[in-house]
Chains A and B, each alone.
Chain A
Amino acid sequence: MTTDHETTRIVRSWLEEGVTALPDRVLDAVLDQLPTTPQRRAWWPARRLPDVNNALKLTVAATAIVAISIVGVGLVGGRPDLGVGGPAASAEPTPTLPPSPSTTSSPSPSPTARPAAREIDVVAGPWRISGTVPAGFTSFDNFAFWDGTADAPDGHGIAFWLVRNAYRDPCASETTAFDPPIGPSVDDLVDALAAREGGIAGPVEPVTVAGYEGKRVTIQVPEDVSVSSCDGRQYRSWVEPDGGHRFHQGPGQVDELLVIGDPTGRERLVIDLFSFPATPPDHVAEIRAVVDGLEIILTEPATPVP
């Protein structure tokens, strides 16, 4: 009979055996790749206009105000649900979202969309995603793509996420991670988002993206949240397997999430269509249209449960 103590001793001795030195060629390969491996900034960090002078800041701010006004005028009457129209617009905490395409691969609703010009090829864990985004979209670390800016007042884009866990209170992320962590299925994440502070905006709907079934769920950062008072000065919805956070770019931001998974329920991908209430509807339609053209492959089987 082997005692626990003896087993531990044997296992520890066994673990002491084996290689310990990393071959130089591996280290060299890593160092060779540094110049072409961009470092990931804290997600869309608070480096808004960090390096520009005050005159430029004022110019940009003035331009933004004019843009908002133009958009607001253009939308009055046509899209009252967007809540646009400047600072005096609705301060209701209830989300005001543009309508979503119904469910499965809907036809592109974007008559004004720019020609799709940029191919994307994204790797997210076992998922490989390819497609195109409109001309002019910027890539952030090849997992998020946006049009000019991701920030308020009208930033919009698309990102691909793996989610390891979520937060009950996105403003208090250091102490409110779900414990035990959420499971790996689509419903595990949707349920967690629904259970958190602020919940979800609108109904949860079935969706199929590139042949993978899942759920569409929308979340919105409250308009009245003071992000600077949140933990880490960030309003965080979830954490990735590598410890990176999805934090949002400001009050009011809307994230239409297409959460898809494999049939075993053990692999999950989140397609995040983010925008703001002031984002023009045709731009929202544009990022939705990106989804219609995606090809998604799950390259590896789910990890077997021991």
Chain B
Amino acid sequence: MDQHLVRAAQRGDEQAFASLAVAIGDRLHAVAHRILRDIDLAEDATQQALLAIWRDLPTLRDPARFNAWSYRLLVNACYDEGRRSRAWRPNLRLLPADEPAAPDVFGRVADRDQLDRAFRRISIDHRAVVVLHHYLGMPLDEVAETVGVPAGTARSRLFHAMRGLRAALEADARSIVREVAR
């Protein structure tokens, strides 16, 4: 990230912030969508995060840390949206099946559905760790810093989340075996 832009935005330069927002908007939105699994909530969370970034930029002491810091605000916005959705909506709207970006590399639509259901069942704390680590490729210590927990907690969250997802995949596989055996 261009640190000059960050510094200019810290001083209240709206044009500089607009350039920053364009540069990071897609990435933030992609992460929010993967954490929340809901397109409307993801848009709201991204909007909320971008405004929080603008509002709080002057408190960022090290512009070199802008990316990690902005992901932290995004994750906080995802928490807020997740809570809001539980408060005001009886259920999350199910995602329309996204068009796969590539051929179905993991084989079965059932896997995807199973993963989606399993992912929705875990907390946003756990989802955030999975997405930051496995989607953004963040090292776990950076994930820990981003979500504001000790590294051990981040490791534990990743372990439990992945264990849940693995169990969901295995349950799905067992049900398919039973179907075939009938």
Residue ranges of A at the interface with B (Cβ–Cβ < 8 Å) = 1-2, 4, 7-23, 26-27, 29-31, 33-35, 37-43, 125-126, 141, 164-165, 179-181, 232, 241-245, 299-301, 303-306
If A2-B166, A14-B112 are given as contacts, then 20 extra A-B residue pairs at C-beta distance below 8 Å, sorted by A number, are A7-B166, A14-B106, A15-B131, A16-B102, A17-B100, A17-B112, A18-B33, A18-B34, A19-B29, A22-B26, A22-B28, A26-B46, A31-B18, A34-B14, A41-B58, A164-B148, A181-B150, A244-B56, A304-B123, A306-B123
Selected contact of A165 from candidates B28, B112, B148, CB within 8 Å: B148
Q: Which residues of chain A are within 8 angstroms of B160 by Cβ–Cβ distance?
A: 306
User: Which residue on A lies nearest to B111, using beta carbons?
Assistant: A10
User: Which residue on B lies nearest to A245, using beta carbons?
Assistant: B59
User: Which residue on A lies nearest to B173, using beta carbons?
Assistant: A2
Are A30 and B50 touching (Cβ within 8 A)? yes
Q: How far is the CA of A29 from the CA of B29 in the complex (A)?
A: 14
Q: How far is the CA of A179 from the CA of B153 in the complex (A)?
A: 10
Are B58 and A2 touching (Cβ within 8 A)? no
Q: Given A18-B30, A243-B72, are A181 and B169 also a contact pair (CB < 8 Å)?
A: no
Q: Which residues of chain A are within 8 angstroms of B69 by Cβ–Cβ distance?
A: 243
Q: Which residues of chain A are within 8 angstroms of B112 by Cβ–Cβ distance?
A: 14, 17
Are A22 and B153 touching (Cβ within 8 A)? no
Are A4 and B55 touching (Cβ within 8 A)? no
Are B46 and A39 touching (Cβ within 8 A)? no
Q: Which residues of chain A are within 8 angstroms of B25 by Cβ–Cβ distance?
A: 22, 26-27
Residue ranges of B at the interface with A (Cβ–Cβ < 8 Å) = 10, 12, 14, 17-18, 21-22, 25-26, 28-30, 33-34, 39, 42-43, 46-47, 50-52, 54-59, 61, 69, 72-73, 76, 79-80, 82-84, 86-87, 98-102, 105-106, 111-112, 115, 122-126, 130-131, 134-135, 148-150, 153, 160, 162, 165-166, 169-170, 173
Are A31 and B21 touching (Cβ within 8 A)? yes
User: Which residue on B lies nearest to A19, using beta carbons?
Assistant: B33
Q: Which residues of chain A are within 8 angstroms of B126 by Cβ–Cβ distance?
A: 306
Q: Which residues of chain B are within 8 angstroms of A305 by Cβ–Cβ distance?
A: 123
Are A126 and B83 touching (Cβ within 8 A)? yes
Q: Given A13-B105, A26-B47, A37-B51, are A243 and B22 also a contact pair (CB < 8 Å)?
A: no
Are B106 and A10 touching (Cβ within 8 A)? yes
Are A7 and B165 touching (Cβ within 8 A)? yes
Q: Which residues of chain A are within 8 angstroms of B26 by Cβ–Cβ distance?
A: 20-22
Interface centre among A10, A23, A232, A299 (most CB of B within 10 A): A10
Are A242 and B83 touching (Cβ within 8 A)? no
User: Which residue on B lies nearest to A21, using beta carbons?
Assistant: B26
Q: How far is the CA of A244 from the CA of B135 in the complex (A)?
A: 27
User: Which residue on A lies nearest to B99, using beta carbons?
Assistant: A17
Are A15 and B98 touching (Cβ within 8 A)? no
Cβ distance B36 to chain A, nearest Cβ, rounded Å: 11
Are A303 and B148 touching (Cβ within 8 A)? no
Are B29 and A11 touching (Cβ within 8 A)? no
Selected contact of B39 from candidates A19, A39, A126, A243, CB within 8 Å: A19
Q: Which residues of chain B are within 8 angstroms of A303 by Cβ–Cβ distance?
A: 79, 82-83, 123-124
Cβ distance A163 to chain B, nearest Cβ, rounded Å: 12
User: Which residue on B lies nearest to A180, using beta carbons?
Assistant: B150
Q: Which residues of chain A are within 8 angstroms of B131 by Cβ–Cβ distance?
A: 15
Closest 9 CB pairs of A and B: A22-B29, A22-B25, A300-B87, A306-B123, A7-B166, A15-B135, A20-B30, A30-B50, A10-B106
Are B162 and A4 touching (Cβ within 8 A)? yes
Cβ distance B56 to chain A, nearest Cβ, rounded Å: 5
Interface centre among A29, A33, A125, A242 (most CB of B within 10 A): A242
Are B98 and A19 touching (Cβ within 8 A)? yes
Q: Which residues of chain A are within 8 angstroms of B102 by Cβ–Cβ distance?
A: 16-17
Are B43 and A30 touching (Cβ within 8 A)? no
Q: Which residues of chain A are within 8 angstroms of B166 by Cβ–Cβ distance?
A: 2, 4, 7
Interface centre among A22, A30, A242, A301 (most CB of B within 10 A): A22
Are B134 and A11 touching (Cβ within 8 A)? yes
Selected contact of A15 from candidates B34, B57, B169, CB within 8 Å: B34
Are B29 and A21 touching (Cβ within 8 A)? yes
Cβ distance A18 to chain B, nearest Cβ, rounded Å: 5
Q: How far is the CA of A14 from the CA of B169 in the complex (A)?
A: 12
Cβ distance B147 to chain A, nearest Cβ, rounded Å: 10
Are B58 and A19 touching (Cβ within 8 A)? no
Q: How far is the CA of A180 from the CA of B21 in the complex (A)?
A: 33
Q: How far is the CA of A244 from the CA of B98 in the complex (A)?
A: 37
Cβ distance B69 to chain A, nearest Cβ, rounded Å: 7
